[in-house]
């Protein structure tokens, strides 16, 4: 077996009602004064107030930064970092979807040390130290609560990543009750996002593709495959919500160590230029990238298919891999997601620009099972249009 490394948060707390223990968790991390990083939508749900109450009940002083936006720009990261410094925060808590968690990771890094944002873009450039970090997801999709990755949108609308084990939180707190109020379209998009994480981790060409990540990916697909449509149709289905949150976390651990590839590379320009939510961007290109990949590398997808769709076990090889692509597209439609780029009002004439921008995602494309040229990227976008 080839050598590999596997990194994970120090601690994971899972369970309905787990948010009530947030204050004790913060104190155990030595964070008696914290900055809570979230977004306006979360404030409107009342969950932020519940989190702050749990913190104050445990004697933790909390300052709120609630200006995170989707596809967070550099300005938000810098403003939140300044808020942490002004508050004298000894710890950072991220509460919300992937954008809030990604911003919280960088605030913990930038407020806890002397590095600048410009210095840490890329793989392994962030060295730390950082402030204690607790991440609390309220969507089941990004897996950001267990990944060493933060994605930021630059002034030129390009997605840039900070990738370093330093960004892994001290604690990931998963409370499925926080996801009960998610609208169906967000449940669907984030759920497909989590499936993409598991699929790309399992099939990754990364030298660090490892048996631990592959096992996590298969379990993630089992949980999400049986629960996504149920969670979309009935947001209060406790079993489905629990499966989705746990599956998302497992997929996050998988791709945190066996990195994602061309689906994400082609999704990022959609978010950068058209502000399409990340999960939906992934869903729009997923079946088309996989159909491109299975021409030369069908095996891993054929292996994965029955974990998400058990009935596909009766098929074999290339036929099973192709059916997997079709079933993923069908699942997205049944969940109510838009079927193509055209329905998102993306003009056909911008597809070459998207293909050109996708080629900048070299850290992702290198992990794809089949090499992707700019002409290939354009063909995939055209198929998705």
Query: Do 146 and 233 fall into the same domain?
Result: no
Please answer whether residues 254 and 260 qualify as being in contact, where contact means their C-beta atoms are separated by less than 8 angstroms.
no
Query: Do 235 and 156 fall into the same domain?
Result: no
Domain boundary among 125, 157, 179: 179
Predicted TM-score of the model (pTM): 0.94
pLDDT digits 0-9 by tens, 166-223: 999 999 999 999 999 889 999 999 999 999 999 999 999 999 999 999 999 999 999 9
Distance CA 174, CA 251 (A): 14
Question: Is 5 contained in some domain?
Answer: no
Query: Do 170 and 194 fall into the same domain?
Result: no
Query: Do 79 and 190 fall into the same domain?
Result: no
pLDDT digits 0-9 by tens, 233-255: 999 999 999 999 999 999 999 99
Query: Do 297 and 263 fall into the same domain?
Result: yes
Sorted by sequence, the CB contacts under 8 Å of residue 327 that are 6+ apart come out as 305, 308, 309, 312
The burial of 180, by beta-carbon neighbours within 10 Å (0-12 exposed, 13-18 middle, 19 or more buried), is given as middle
Q: What is the pLDDT of residue 1?
A: 78
Question: Is 3 contained in some domain?
Answer: no
Which residues, listed in sequence order, are joined to residue 35 by a DSSP beta bridge? 63, 92
If DSSP codes are grouped into helix, strand and coil, which group holds residue 134?
Answer: strand
Domain boundary among 147, 179, 211: 179
Cβ count within 10 A of residue 339:
13
In CATH, what number is assigned to the domain containing residue 94?
A: 3.40.50.1970
Question: Is 2 contained in some domain?
Answer: no
Half-sphere exposure of 264 (CA within 13 A, CB side): 27
Distance CA 304, CA 222 (A): 10
215-232 as b/e: b if 16+ CB within 10 A: ebbbbbbbbbbbbbbbbb
pLDDT in tens, the chain (385 residues): 789 999 999 999 999 999 999 999 999 999 999 999 999 999 999 999 999 999 999 999 999 999 999 889 999 999 999 999 999 999 999 999 999 999 999 999 999 999 999 999 998 999 989 999 999 999 999 999 999 999 998 887 778 889 999 999 999 999 999 999 889 999 999 999 999 999 999 999 999 999 999 999 999 999 999 999 999 999 999 999 999 999 999 999 999 999 999 999 999 999 888 989 889 999 999 999 999 999 999 999 999 999 999 999 999 999 999 999 999 999 999 999 999 999 999 999 999 999 999 999 998 999 999 999 999 999 999 999 9
In CATH, what number is assigned to the domain containing residue 188?
A: 1.20.1090.10
Question: Is 108 contained in some domain?
Answer: yes
If DSSP codes are grouped into helix, strand and coil, which group holds residue 34?
Answer: strand
Distance CA 292, CA 265 (A): 14
Query: Do 281 and 369 fall into the same domain?
Result: yes
Query: Do 168 and 192 fall into the same domain?
Result: no
Q: Domains in the chain: how many in total? A: 2
Query: Do 93 and 195 fall into the same domain?
Result: no
Please answer whether residues 121 and 160 qualify as being in contact, where contact means their C-beta atoms are separated by less than 8 angstroms.
yes
Host domain of residue 137: 11-179
Domain boundary among 179, 205, 227: 179
- The CA-to-CA distance between both ends of the chain, in Å, stands at 41
Q: Is the bond preceding 129 in cis, omega lying within 30 degrees of 0?
A: yes
Please answer whether residues 55 and 29 qualify as being in contact, where contact means their C-beta atoms are separated by less than 8 angstroms.
no
Give the tokens for residue 40.
């306006």
Query: Do 233 and 159 fall into the same domain?
Result: no
Please answer whether residues 74 and 155 qualify as being in contact, where contact means their C-beta atoms are separated by less than 8 angstroms.
yes
Q: What is the pLDDT of residue 330?
A: 96
Q: What is the pLDDT of residue 247?
A: 98
Query: Do 24 and 162 fall into the same domain?
Result: yes
């Amino acid at each position: 077996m080839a050598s590999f490394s596997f990194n994970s948060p120090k601690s994971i707390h899972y369970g309905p009602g787990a948010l009530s223990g947030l204050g004790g968790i913060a104190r155990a991390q030595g964070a008696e004064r914290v900055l809570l990083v979230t977004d306006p939508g979360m404030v409107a749900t009342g969950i932020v107030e519940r989190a702050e109450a749990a913190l104050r009940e445990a004697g933790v002083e909390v300052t709120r930064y609630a200006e995170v936006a989707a596809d967070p720009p550099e300005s938000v990261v810098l403003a939140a970092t300044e808020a942490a410094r002004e508050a004298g925060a000894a710890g950072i808590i991220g509460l919300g979807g992937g954008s809030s968690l990604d911003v919280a990771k960088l605030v913990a890094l930038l407020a806890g040390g002397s590095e600048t944002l410009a210095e840490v873009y890329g793989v392994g450039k962030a060295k730390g130290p950082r402030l204690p970090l607790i991440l609390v997801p309220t969507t089941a999709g990004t897996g950001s609560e267990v990944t060493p990755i933060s994605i930021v949108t630059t002034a030129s609308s390009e997605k840039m990543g900070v990738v370093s084990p330093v960004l892994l939180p001290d604690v990931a707190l998963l409370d499925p009750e926080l996801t009960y109020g998610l609208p169906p379209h967000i449940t669907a998009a984030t759920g497909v996002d989590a499936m993409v994480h598991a699929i790309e981790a399992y099939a990754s060409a990364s030298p660090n593709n490892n048996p631990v990540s592959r096992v996590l990916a298969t379990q993630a697909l089992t949980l999400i495959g049986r629960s996504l449509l149920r969670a979309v149709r009935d947001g209060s289905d406790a079993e489905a919500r629990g499966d989705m949150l746990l599956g998302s976390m497992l997929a996050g651990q998988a791709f945190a160590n066996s990195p994602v590839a061309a689906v994400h590379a082609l999704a990022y320009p959609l978010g950068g230029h058209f502000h399409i939510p990340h999960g939906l961007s992934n869903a729009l290109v997923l079946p088309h990238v996989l159909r491109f990949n299975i021409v030369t590398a069908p095996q891993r997808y054929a292996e994965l298919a029955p974990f998400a769709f058990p009935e596909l076990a009766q098929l074999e090889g290339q036929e099973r891999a192709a059916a997997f692509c079709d079933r993923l597209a069908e699942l997205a439609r049944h969940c109510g997601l838009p079927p193509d780029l055209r329905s998102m009002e993306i003009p056909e004439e911008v597809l070459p620009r998207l293909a050109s921008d996708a080629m900048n995602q070299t850290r992702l494309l290198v992990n794809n099972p089949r090499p992707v040229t700019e002409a290939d990227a354009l063909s995939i976008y055209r198929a998705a249009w």
